[in-house]
Chains A and B, each alone.
Chain A
Amino acid sequence: GAGVSQSPSNKVTEKGKDVELRCDPISGHTALYWYRQSLGQGLEFLIYFQGNSAPDKSGLPSDRFSAERTGGSVSTLTIQRTQQEDSAVYLCASSLAESSYNEQFFGPGTRLTVL
């Protein structure tokens, strides 16, 4: 079946602009996660959605970052007023349920470059 898909695959933007990154999880997966992979920070958790519960936003680095998940499926990560330190690969993952036992399936990522 189809895996996790993300778009765009690459995004180049100018400092100060807003960007939206999209994630389509695997059908039937109720849990959705965003991570960021950067040279300086490695792989870090950003935000987590599970069903209709309030998301866990504890990993978002600043209030310029926000995310939503519509209809329990597609998710959008928005970064406002982008800064150069936001340059990274943004990874989305999904899993069947919220559990540390469940495998998270990762998308190919969106490479964001802020000039």
Chain B
Amino acid sequence: GDSVTQMEGPVTLSEEAFLTINCTYTATGYPSLFWYVQYPGEGLQLLLKATKADDKGSNKGFEATYRKETTSFHLEKGSVQVSDSAVYFCALGSSYKLIFGSGTRLLVRP
């Protein structure tokens, strides 16, 4: 069945460091891909999405490119801030439901 694998956390970075969180998927067909973020004490929010191969989703300085050849959707940000500390979930749209990765906790230190 469809599945998502993302890198284990926690990831600890200093402010202004470069961030990469790896995400790979297994799916039949061409699913939509998403990154959701969960800030401390808050609900899940959509961060960005891509609906077809080579699409780049971007939001709040974060980017991810849908790579069909490597079945990947890695999340990147050039310069992280303390306020980016959160848990990040990669997900794919499998028909109508979302299949999530296990989540990666990011901690950004001042």
Contacts and interface: CB of A to CB of B under 8 A. Distances in A.
Interface stretch (B15-23, B62-70, B91-99): B91-99
Interface residues of A toward B: which range?
20 to 34
A91 B93 CA distance: 17
A29 B31 CA distance: 22
Contacts, number: 55
B96 A42 contact: no
A98 B96 contact: yes
A12 B94 CA distance: 33
Interface string A94-115: 0000111101111111000000
Contacts of A31: 96
A108 B41 CA distance: 9
Interface in B50-101: 51, 89, 92-101
Interface of A: 4, 31, 33, 35, 42-45, 48, 50, 56, 59, 91, 93, 98-101, 103-109
Interface of B: 31-32, 34, 36, 42-46, 49, 51, 89, 92-103
